[in-house]
């Protein structure tokens, strides 16, 4: 996320709106639509599995918090689930904030990934000590197209057999061994409090899901976890005057049909346009309230 941020802010000078977070911002929010509807300069610095902790680090590193700037951030449930230990579901920034005992506790069932993360961080530290990390700086080179938006084509089709659905629910990386109020949640809360002390306005959202996924997961542990997470977010975010929360998970939007998703939880390019217009409307409200 930091590399993408560095690249885009060198190309789009002084953006009014910065989109960040995980894949459901990276692939679902189109800067050109937000720009068109609001006459603003917009960049999308979100990345797959990007999280709030990494976003806060990028804001600090590049001094992005400004009084009139608006930030839009997707925060999926894996960002706070201690059970989400598959590769890619713990950012380096979040991992570095964990105590040694917390790391061992979270990864006790997945020590291989613990070793992989430790190895990667050791290599990064060595590169920094040897000043080789400069070669990794992508700022100002190969700017992403469409101001950072990465649309995905395809349409969600067909029904899942019961056996395949059960396998998916059990093995889904976001929902393994659901534990939402553990160490990752504590780190998330601290990062959120840092946003609360920054300049700018922050819109944090829970992304919509496909009607098919809502049907498949109704009354399941997945739905209960998502509802609980939304309540946790709402209760925590209301502590901060400059942070707003939009719960697109709990609120069903009839315009977002299965044909607008390329998988159960990610909008395709058609759905991204509709969703971007929804967020653009919220941005207009915030702008009018200044």
Residue found by looking up tokens 């590169």 in the block:
127
In a domain, 2, yes or no: no
For residue 135, the model assigns a pLDDT of: 46
- Which DSSP category does 249 fall into? T
Give the SS3 label for residue 149. coil
pLDDT greater than 80 at residue 137: no
Q: What percent of the chain has pLDDT over 90?
A: 72
Residue found by looking up tokens 């579901």 in the block:
89
In a domain, 286, yes or no: no
pLDDT greater than 70 at residue 140: no
- Which DSSP category does 207 fall into? P
In a domain, 272, yes or no: no
Q: What percent of the chain has pLDDT over 70?
A: 94
In a domain, 288, yes or no: no
Residue 139's domain comprises 18-37+59-248+257-263
In a domain, 11, yes or no: no
Query: Using CA atoms, how far apart are residues 259 and 276, in angstroms rounded to an integer?
Result: 16
What integer best gives the mean pLDDT of the chain? 90
The CA-based diameter of the chain, rounded to the nearest angstrom, is 55
Retrieve residue 179's tokens: 């534990």
pTM value is 0.90
Residue 163's CB is within 10 A of a number of other CB atoms, namely 8
In a domain, 157, yes or no: yes
Question: Which of 79, 10, 119, 9 has its CA nearest to residue 111?
Answer: 119
How far is residue 97 CA from its own chain's centroid? 18
Query: Using CA atoms, how far apart are residues 266 and 269, in angstroms rounded to an integer?
Result: 10
For residue 289, the model assigns a pLDDT of: 53
Query: Using CA atoms, how far apart are residues 266 and 260, in angstroms rounded to an integer?
Result: 9
For the segment 151-195, what is each residue's pLDDT rounded down to a tens digit? 999 999 877 888 888 888 889 999 999 999 999 999 999 999 999
In a domain, 145, yes or no: yes
Q: Is residue 207 within 8 Å of 76, Cβ to Cβ?
A: yes
pLDDT greater than 50 at residue 49: yes
pLDDT greater than 50 at residue 136: no
For the segment 86-135, what is each residue's pLDDT rounded down to a tens digit? 988 989 999 999 999 999 999 998 998 999 998 888 888 787 777 665 54
In a domain, 129, yes or no: yes
Q: Is residue 275 within 8 Å of 267, Cβ to Cβ?
A: yes
Query: Using CA atoms, how far apart are residues 227 and 250, in angstroms rounded to an integer?
Result: 7
pLDDT greater than 60 at residue 36: yes
pLDDT greater than 80 at residue 254: yes
279 compared with 37, residue with greater pLDDT: 279
For residue 167, the model assigns a pLDDT of: 85
How far is residue 180 CA from its own chain's centroid? 16
Structural domains of the chain, count: 1
User: Lowest-pLDDT range, 22-31, 52-61, 121-130, 233-242?
Assistant: 121-130
């Amino acid at each position: 996320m930091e590399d993408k941020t560095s690249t885009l802010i060198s190309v789009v000078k002084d953006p009014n709106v910065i989109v960040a977070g995980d894949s459901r911002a990276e692939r679902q929010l189109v800067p050109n639509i937000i720009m068109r509807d609001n006459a603003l300069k917009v960049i999308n610095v979100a990345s797959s599995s990007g999280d709030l902790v990494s976003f806060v680090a990028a804001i600090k590193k590049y001094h992005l918090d400004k009084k009139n700037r608006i930030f839009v951030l997707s925060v999926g449930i894996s960002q706070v689930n201690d059970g989400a230990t598959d590769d890619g579901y713990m950012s380096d920034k979040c991992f570095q904030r964990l105590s040694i005992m917390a790391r061992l506790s979270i990864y006790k069932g997945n020590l291989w990934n613990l070793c992989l993360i430790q190895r990667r961080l050791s290599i990064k530290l060595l590169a920094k000590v040897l000043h080789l990390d400069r070669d990794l700086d992508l700022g100002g080179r190969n700017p992403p197209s469409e101001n950072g938006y990465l649309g995905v084509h395809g349409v969600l089709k067909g029904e899942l057999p019961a056996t395949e659905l059960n396998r998916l629910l059990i093995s889904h990386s976001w929902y393994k061994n659901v534990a939402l109020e553990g160490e990752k949640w504590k780190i998330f809360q601290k990062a959120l409090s840092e946003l609360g002390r920054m300049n700018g306005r922050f819109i944090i959202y829970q992304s919509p899901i496909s009607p098919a996924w809502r049907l498949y997961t109704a009354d399941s542990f997945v739905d209960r976890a998502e509802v609980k997470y939304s309540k946790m977010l709402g209760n925590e975010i209301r502590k901060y005057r400059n942070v707003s929360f939009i719960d697109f998970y709990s609120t069903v939007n009839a315009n977002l049909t299965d044909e607008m998703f390329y998988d159960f939880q990610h909008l395709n390019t058609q759905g991204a346009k509709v969703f971007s217009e929804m967020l653009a409307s919220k941005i207009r409200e915030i702008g009018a309230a200044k």
